[in-house]
Amino acid sequence: MTTYLGYDTEILKRPRPAIRQVTRLDNGRFLLKYKHLPNFEMELNFTPFIRIFNLTGAFTLLHWQAMPKGLRTWGAYTHSPDRDDYAVFDYPDFKPTTARHQILQIDEVLVNIRPTAVVYYPDMIMVQDDSQRWELVHDYN
């Protein structure tokens, strides 16, 4: 058994499952809640990235969620002429990609939103495959 800080590394790699609820508030804005945390909610706002970096067409913004600590996970905002949605997933549920990407960050002192840093994938949208894993694919619209 391989360990790190006294913990079995296989246990450390496991995600902590939680029932998450995502509600779309408006274009680029979403509310994240956890079923077992009734007093927790986090608004995610991707519109500053769109405006500040002049993002157009189809793209995905991938980020690590700011909270709640202990249940943080990955999130991806997908925008295209046909879509404006947000997906939440743990790392085993995501197929990595070597697609062209760029790191974008907004000064969190000047703009009080979440997230403040993302990985931008131009011309890519998130989809689920037959095994329910998320992957980035080219948008050919």
* Conformational region of residue 108, where left means phi above 0, alpha means psi within -120 to 50, and beta covers everything else: alpha
Half-sphere exposure (Cβ direction) of 102: Cα atoms closer than 13 Å: 8
Per-residue model confidence as pLDDT tens digits over 62-87 = 999 877 777 788 999 999 988 899 99
Counted domains in the chain: 1
What residue type is 44 in one-letter code? L
Answering whether pTM is above 0.85, one says yes
Task: Give residue 76's domain range.
Answer: 3-138
Per-residue model confidence as pLDDT tens digits over 74-128 = 999 999 988 899 999 887 888 878 889 999 999 988 888 899 999 999 999 888 8
C-alpha distances out from residue 57 to 40, 84, 117, 125, 134, Å: 33, 11, 20, 11, 20
Structure tokens at 85: 């949605």
What is the pLDDT, as a whole number, of residue 28? Answer: 95
Strands 134-138 and 94-95: parallel
